[in-house]
């Protein structure tokens, strides 16, 4: 007969932290302009916007590409960034809405 597994109370170990689910990064972005285009970049290769927002949207946005915009609530993606990085993103933001979202992080 198998011995029952010990619980965290019996071992004195800390209970694991609850996992907080966050939307996928790409859910905080939207395509600006035509959704029916393909863009060839040196760093990211061919980006086909016909399939929607790319999975690496955060990295693409940080690189300064102008075809992705932020959706409401996207500030959670940049909470751990330095003030200098946020200021750089503000200067290269493609829309006023993006600037408003990013400026929330400087307060």
User: At residue 12, does pLDDT exceed 80?
Assistant: no
Instruction: Report the pLDDT value the prediction gives residue 84, as an integer from 0 to 100.
Output: 96
Does some domain include residue 33?
A: yes
Instruction: Report the pLDDT value the prediction gives residue 35, as an integer from 0 to 100.
Output: 85
Q: Which residues, in sequence order, are CB contacts of 53 under 8 Å at separation 6+?
A: 26, 27, 29, 30, 31, 68
Burial of 86 (0-12, 13-18, 19+ CB in 10 A): middle
Residue, of 13 and 24, whose pLDDT is higher: 24
Residue, of 19 and 93, whose pLDDT is higher: 93
Does some domain include residue 12?
A: no
Does some domain include residue 91?
A: yes
Q: How far apart are CA 40 and CA 78, in angstroms?
A: 26
Model pLDDT for residues 38-96, shown as the tens digit of each residue: 999 999 999 999 999 999 999 999 999 999 999 999 999 999 999 999 999 999 999 99
Q: List the structure tokens of 38.
A: 């393909």
Considering the entire predicted model, what is its pTM? 0.75
Does some domain include residue 4?
A: no
The domain total for the chain is: 1
Domain around 76: 23-106
Does some domain include residue 1?
A: no
Does some domain include residue 101?
A: yes
Report yes or no: 91 and 78 within 8 Å, Cβ to Cβ: no
């Amino acid at each position: 007969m198998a011995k029952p597994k010990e619980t965290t109370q019996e071992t004195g170990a800390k209970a694991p932290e609850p996992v907080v689910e966050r939307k996928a990064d790409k859910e905080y972005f939207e395509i600006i302009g035509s959704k029916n285009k393909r863009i060839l970049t040196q760093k990211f290769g061919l980006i086909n916007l016909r399939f929607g927002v790319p999975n690496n949207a955060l990295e693409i946005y940080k690189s300064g590409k102008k075809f992705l915009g932020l959706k409401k609530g996207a500030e959670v993606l940049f909470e751990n960034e330095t003030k200098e990085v946020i200021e750089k993103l503000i200067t290269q933001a493609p829309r006023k809405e993006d600037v408003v979202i990013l400026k929330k992080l400087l307060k």
